[in-house]
Structure 1
Amino acid sequence: MTTAAAADSARPAMPAVLWPLLFGNFVIGTGVMAVPGTLNEISGSLDVSVATAGQLISAGAVLMCVGAPLCAAFVAGWDRRRLLALSMVWYALLHLACAFAPDFAWLLPLRVLALVAPAIFTPQAASCVGLLVPAEMRGRAITFIFVGWSVASVLGMPLAAFVGGTLGWRAAFGVVALLSVASAAWVWRAMPDGVKPPALSKAAWSETFRSPALMICVSVTVLYAAGQFVLFSYFAPYFKATLDITPGALSLFFMWFGAFGLLGNMVMSSYIDRIGAPRSVMIGIGLMAASMAAFPLGTNVWLAALVCVPWALGCFSSNSAQQARLVGIAPSLAAASVALNSSAMYAGQAIGAASGGWLLARGAMDWLHWAGLVGLLASMGASALATHYARRRP
């Protein structure tokens, strides 16, 4: 047995309490990605353009962007068992309300309100991991619970796309509501009482905002999220227009993308503590940029699937590594920095979806991947700068 294999076998298994957090992120990710997966159905059912339907993505992302740090401050003293379970109950009720929305004017605000839950669950689940596992397991534990987002891409988003394409988008939202109820019950049953990360003072928030290493690191997330979501938000209409893809083939494509996203996150979880979070982030972004550069080669469904493999490998793993990177730079400020990073991810989604919608409205669909590549290359530059400042931090 090699030294590396022996080290892998010697590492302790993840505590059982982390599994409901992973499942919660799966449900959160499935709900967030349900709209991109059913964008064609929403557009046709409610008689609005694809660009208008895309406002569901950008408006929801703005709410999550603003809501993550605000909620982090508001819920600082809450018991995490109650907070995380209640956030999933909220997710269930609002997705059910969305499923019964009579028109787009009702759907848009209900969808925005539903996304209060992701603004709370994902960052607060990550911020309390340090109280659930030993310090030496922190990096693995954080990337482990973010595997839920990868599983959402391999199972949840294809499920939503398939249900939406066969039974309608309302049925897809109903599935998310049912999964949210199951998640709330599991969190309530498995999480211990009394998990309360220390509340951050105004001085701690101030220190976070004044840290060049942390804030540049957060900007990395904004840039690579925007770069991805220029195109990712509009996969369904893009492939419908360019490849005449069917709903069944689209769900299989999402499953393919998600399978490699899950693989990338699992590999990252295994090796991040060895190669370091900054290098892991750079590798993930570089893989995504490679797919954007090669995207014109995807002239049929099979080639498009192959071109997207590097993107999928880096998509979720890079965000998991970013969370661990921020915690490593300043562990005492993790509650603030992780919330800001979630906010940054959603800000990037809003920027990317809005930019992609702007291009679509002007008939520039073929420019989506080039705009995405610009964002990813800028993110790589910012990541190198963040590493420089992190090395200078005491």
Structure 2
Amino acid sequence: MPFVLYLLGLAVFAQGMSEFMLSGLVPDIARDLGVSIPAAASLTSAFAVGMIVGAPLMAVAGLRWPRRRSLLVFLVTFLLAHVAGALTSHYGVLLATRVVAALANAGFLAVALTTATALVPANAKGRATSILLGGITVACVAGVPAGALLGQLWGWRSAFWAVALLSAPAVLAILKWVPEGTDPSTAPGVRGQARALLAPRPAVFLLLCALVNGATFCAFTYLAPLLTEVTGAGRALVPAVLALFGLGSFIGVTVSGRFADTRPVPLLVTGGAALLVGWSVFALSAGSPVATAVLVLMLGALSFAVGSTLVSQVFYSAAGAPTLAGAAATAAFNVGAALGPWLGGVAAGAGPGYRGPLWVSALLIALAVAVASVAALGRVFGAPPPVRRVRG
């Protein structure tokens, strides 16, 4: 795999830390800014909405830009938004910075996914995608717990400063090592790429991306209050449990990268069934610290294994959309990230408490399994693309 993919993964790590770290900072932000926990949690949804809107808009806006320029513009904007967020004491301003950061993040990730899959052989898109999304899982392993720990030691603002500082080296790395890219004028037009994405096969994979990621974010956003209110864990243990989820995520995306190019269907079928059972069992056993620790690790691995494989299948099935496929995958990924926490908040306030988001996650996976089953019966998926084993 080209070394430049790991540099792109570094930038994605900083952005993943920003997107996920609020899971461990929600109580502190709510207390500091004088808002409710659901209002503070909605900052995650606001970021996701910005990603949904920003992915296609930013990709189209930068369609005629060289890839390196696009990556730099988006990453510098992302960095400055976090500086502003760290300095503000107003909830409305913080909410606005999250949207701006999300727009920039969306544009960056869309271009980075396209760049990564363009730099590898045609049958290695799963490996390339897993390396890039590995930055997100490393953020769960190290960045998110570190953000929660920073919040406990020096306040939630310190986590925002950390994201800004982590982004700076990535800017320099892109300047030095990311190639300018091919002539953007040779790419297919927006309408042609949109038609390719609306074909049944990529459309189903995009829907599945949204549903699976919705289940992931629904539970993950409310993991900190679940641990303290239901499991009975102290606040000091929250970063460790978040790290377990991140460790599982890293394992899942790493292992799935080895199979996403060659055996995606068995991985998706097995992983989807296991997720359905896993979220249901977690909802029933969330009061047990041991069961919670085991299931957090396992569900983190399964969620990202299935999710990253679905993203790679979008690229395989939408070869006619070389630029907008990354934007579409990013948007679908974040439709779930916006919908999941919102549904989880509704469930948490409707009676089941913080077990409610876990039941919503199980329901979303059940819906994904139903969609995939209908698509398979309707022969939407067809035969998988021929692949050969790729070394490196």
Structure 2 equivalent of residue 231 of structure 1: 219
Letter in 2 for 1:266: T
Give, in whole Å, the separation in 1 of the partners of 2:196 and 2:118: 21
**Residue 174 of structure 1: how far off its partner (Å):** 0.7
When residues 196 and 311 of structure 1 are mapped into structure 2, their CA distance, relative to the original with a 3 A threshold, is farther
SS of 1:91 mapped into structure 2: helix
Structure 2 equivalent of residue 6 of structure 1: none
Does 2:105 align with 1:118?
yes
Structure 2 counterpart of 1:161, from 138, 148, 161: 148
Give, in whole Å, the separation in 1 of the partners of 2:98 and 2:341: 15
SS of 2:34 mapped into structure 1: coil
5 Å-filtered alignment, 1:259-278, equals 259-275=247-263, 277-278=264-265
**Residue 196 of structure 1: how far off its partner (Å):** 5.0
Does 2:364 align with 1:375?
yes
Alpha-carbon contact 2:194-2:324 (below 8 Å) kept: no
Letter in 1 for 2:334: Y
Give, in whole Å, the separation in 2 of the partners of 1:183 and 1:323: 23
Alpha-carbon contact 2:279-2:362 (below 8 Å) kept: yes
Give, in whole Å, the separation in 1 of the partners of 2:90 and 2:117: 44
- Per-residue displacement from partner, 1:228-263 (whole Å, max 9, x unpaired)? 222211111221211343333111111111111111
Structure 2 equivalent of residue 313 of structure 1: 301
- Per-residue displacement from partner, 1:26-70 (whole Å, max 9, x unpaired)? 111111012112111111111111111111111221111111111
Alpha-carbon contact 1:85-1:183 (below 8 Å) kept: no
Structure 2 equivalent of residue 217 of structure 1: 205
Identity of aligned residues (%): 27
Structure 2 equivalent of residue 352 of structure 1: 340
Give, in whole Å, the separation in 2 of the partners of 1:282 and 1:309: 20
Give, in whole Å, the separation in 2 of the partners of 1:293 and 1:279: 22
SS of 2:21 mapped into structure 1: helix
SS of 1:146 mapped into structure 2: helix
Structure 2 counterpart of 1:389, from 372, 380, 384: 380
Structure 2 equivalent of residue 298 of structure 1: 286
Q: Aligned residue pairs: how many?
A: 380
**Residue 386 of structure 1: how far off its partner (Å):** 4.3
Structure 1 equivalent of residue 390 of structure 2: none
Does 2:130 align with 1:143?
yes
Structure 1 counterpart of 2:118, from 131, 135, 148: 131
CA RMSD, aligned part only? 2.0
TM-score by length of 2: 0.91
- Any gaps of 5 or more consecutive residues in structure 2? 386-392
Structure 2 equivalent of residue 3 of structure 1: none
TM-score by length of 1: 0.91
- Per-residue displacement from partner, 1:347-386 (whole Å, max 9, x unpaired)? 1111111111222334432322111111011112223444
Structure 2 equivalent of residue 36 of structure 1: 23
Alpha-carbon contact 1:85-1:185 (below 8 Å) kept: no
Structure 2 counterpart of 1:255, from 235, 243, 257: 243
Alpha-carbon contact 1:89-1:184 (below 8 Å) kept: yes
Give, in whole Å, the separation in 2 of the partners of 1:196 and 1:153: 36
SS of 1:332 mapped into structure 2: coil
5 Å-filtered alignment, 1:17-56, equals 17-56=4-43
Does 2:11 align with 1:16?
no
